[in-house]
Amino acid sequence: MTPAVRKNAWMAFAAVCLIWGTTYLAIKVALETIPPFLMGGIRYVIGGAVLAAWLLVRRETLPPPGEWPRLAVLGFLMITLGNGGVVWGEQYLASGLTAVVIATSPFWMVAIDAMLPGADRLTWRQWGGLFIGFCGIVVLVWPELTLGGASGRAVVLGILALQVACIGWSIASAYTRRHAVSRNVLGVAAVQMVFGGVFLMLAGTAMGEWQNLTFSSRTTAALVYLTLAGSVIAFAAYSYALRHLPIATVSLYTYVNPVIAVALGTALLGEPFRVSMLVAAAAIALGMSVVRPARRPARA
C-alpha cells in the first residue's frame, strides 16, 4: 500500500466515524413522519443513483453487469438487513441506545470472519470476550426489559432487529474483505446502494408504508442529510477503508459512533442518559480487547 493510499484510507475511516455517529440522530428525526423501510429505500436508491451519476460524469465505469448478482446479495446483507434493521429497531429505542447496541458489530465481524475457510478459529479466551461483551448489552437494556408489557416487548424487538443488522453487515463486510469484486470501490458502493435501497422499498411496499408517508421540513432535512452524507459519502468511505485497512481496525468506528450519538441524543432530543450506558460501553470495550486476535509478527 502506498503512503497516499494509506492516508486516504485513514481519512475515509475518520469520515465514517464522524458521519455515521450523527446518522442515529438524523434517523430518529426522519422517523417522525417517514416509515422506516421507505426511509431507507429512498435514502439509498437516491444516494446510489447520485454516486453512479457522479462517476459517469467523471467518465468512470460502473462494475460490469456480470458482477451485479453478487453486488445485489451484498446490498441486501449490508443495506437491506444492515441499515434496515437499524432503522426499524430505532422506532423503539433511543438513538444513543441504538448506537451503543450496534457497538456489538465487531463481535459479529470477528466471529463470522473466524467461520470462513482458512481463518483462525476462536480460542476459549476469545469466546470469553464475546460473553463479556454481550453481558454489557444485557446491562444496557435491562432497565427497559423490566418494564414488561408492550414497552418491554418493543425493546426486545428493537434489540433483535439490531442484532440482525449486525449479522447482515458483518457477513457482507467479511465477504468484501476477502473477495474484491471490482477495483472501482465507488462503483461497487453505488450499485450496492441501489440494490439495497430497492429491496428496502419493496419491503416498505409489502408493509403498506406508502399510506403513512409524509414529509415536514424537519424530516426532509434529515432525509437529505442521510442520503448525501450518510449514504453517498460515508458508505463510499467505508467501502474504501474496508478495502485498504484491516477489518478489525475498520470495525472500531462502532466505538466512536456511540459517543457522538449519545451526546447528540441527550443534548438535542432530550434522551435519558444512564450510568448503565457507561458500564455497558466499558464491558463491550473490554470484551472486544479480549476477542481481538493478537497482531502477528510480520514475515520477512
Q: How does pLDDT run across 11-33, given as a tens digit for each residue?
A: 999 999 899 889 999 999 999 99
Can you tell me the distance from the alpha carbon of 289 to that of 211, in angstroms, rounded to the nearest whole number?
47
Spatial separation of the C-alpha atoms in residues 78 and 196, rounded to whole Å: 8
pLDDT digits (tens, 9 = 90+) for 68-114: 999 999 999 999 999 999 999 999 888 888 887 887 777 777 777 77
H helix intervals, the chain: 3-30, 36-57, 68-75, 82-89, 95-102, 105-115, 124-145, 149-178, 185-206, 217-225, 234-244, 247-250, 253-268, 275-291
Predicted local confidence at residue 86, as pLDDT: 93
Kindly indicate the confidence band of residue 293, based on its pLDDT and cuts at 50, 70 and 90: low
6 pLDDT band (50/70/90 cuts)? confident
CB 65 within 8 A of CB 26: no
pLDDT of 240 strictly over 70: yes
Question: CA-CA distance, 280 to 45, in Å (whole number)?
Answer: 35
User: What is the enclosing helix (H) or strand (E) of 300?
Assistant: none
Interval 247-274 mean pLDDT: 79
267 has pLDDT over 50: yes
The span from the CA of 26 to the CA of 300, in Å, is 48
List the one residue out of 279, 287, 14, 245 whose CA is nearest residue 140.
Answer: 279
H-run or E-run covering 297: none
Collect all residues with Cβ–Cβ distance below 8 Å to 46 and sequence separation of at least 6: 197, 227, 231
- Region 268-283: mean pLDDT is 75
pLDDT of residue 144: 63
Q: What is the pTM of this model?
A: 0.80
Across 138-142, 177-181, 270-274, least confident range: 177-181
Q: What is the pLDDT of residue 297?
A: 40
pLDDT (mean) for 126-154: 69
pLDDT digits over 156-200, tens only?
Answer: 888 889 989 989 988 887 777 666 555 677 888 899 999 999 999
Q: What pLDDT was estimated at residue 75?
A: 93
- Of 5-19, 35-49, 84-98, 254-268, the range with the lowest mean pLDDT is 254-268
- Residue in 136, 120, 105, 97 with CA at minimum distance from that of residue 251: 105
Amino acid identity, residue 106?
P
- Mean of per-residue pLDDT scores for the chain: 83
Per-residue pLDDT at 119: 62
What's residue 237's pLDDT?
87
- pLDDT at 283 > cutoff 60: yes
**What is the grid cell recorded at 191?**
450499485
In the block, residue with C-alpha cell 462517476:
55
Report whether pLDDT(146) > 80: no
More confident residue, 142 or 13: 13
Residue boundaries of the structural domains of the chain: 3-291
